[in-house]
Amino acid sequence: MEELLKTLSVDSSCRAEDFLEGRALLINKPYSWSSFDVVNKIRIQFKKYLGIKKIKVGHAGTLDPLASGLLIICTGKATKTIDQLMGMDKEYVAHITFGASTPSYDLETEPDQHFETDHITKAEIQKALQGFQGIQMQAPPVFSAIKKDGQRAYEQARKGKSLKLDKREVEFKDLELLAYTAPTALVRVVCSKGTYIRSFAHDLGKALHSGAHLSGLERTAIGPMKLDGALSMEQFEKLLVTIQTI
């Protein structure tokens, strides 16, 4: 881990060779971009600004297009640390809107059911959150990349096929209600690898005898790495302009 953290230092003193050798980049993924969009854009920028035609680039944990926040991009030999990075705890700030559920558990699909929310209070949400603390068995959303019968679940779900995915063990290390302005709660979530925040939002709605969906999500930390140390795509591009080419 100590060696990995050393590769996080990316500034104008870096050389093109440093990225080939291996760097871990903290990027603030923009809303609507897929994680692959970020990887692809960085590959293009390496070629354009640094003259690097061939380089290993990968990300350490997918962030959905409808989410923003911390995405770790690894280059060169640092791609060997991806599995280690993916195993770290994650921190998110989730916007959870009560009163409607959606098939995808987020805003990718339209609401399919509506519910009452008058009974939901800040105190009730805080009480419900306590029930999620610790190890839980969580069912992934059917709109996910998990394979079922040889096909991605989301491909089958989009065709209208009814699916039931096996529950998986996840752990919620910390849950904090940051704010509640009906019908939307702002919740800080610290959780283990493999936790679906969309499923958490859906399950929280059910726990409150209502329905809910994830209306916004920002990843704020991966292990010891924080979003406030990340570069926007624009900042990273400006940095590359100052770096010595091959």
Q: How many CB atoms lie within 10 A of CB 96?
A: 27
The token duo for 9 is 């230092």
Q: Which of 74, 91, 82, 68 is nearest to 223 (CA)?
A: 91
The SS3 call for residue 157 is helix
Classify residue 46 by its DSSP letter. I
Catalytic pick from 11, 18, 37, 64?
A: 64
Whether 106 sits among the annotated catalytic residues: the reply is no
* 141 cis-preceded (ω within 30 degrees of 0): no
The token duo for 195 is 């936790």
Which residues are CB-contacts of 48 (< 8 A; sequence separation ≥ 6)?
none
- Annotate 184-204 with b (16+ C-beta within 10 A) or e (fewer): ebebebbbbeebbbbbbbbbb
Burial group, residue 64, by CB count within 10 angstroms (0-12, 13-18, 19+): buried
Give the catalytic positions in this structure: 64
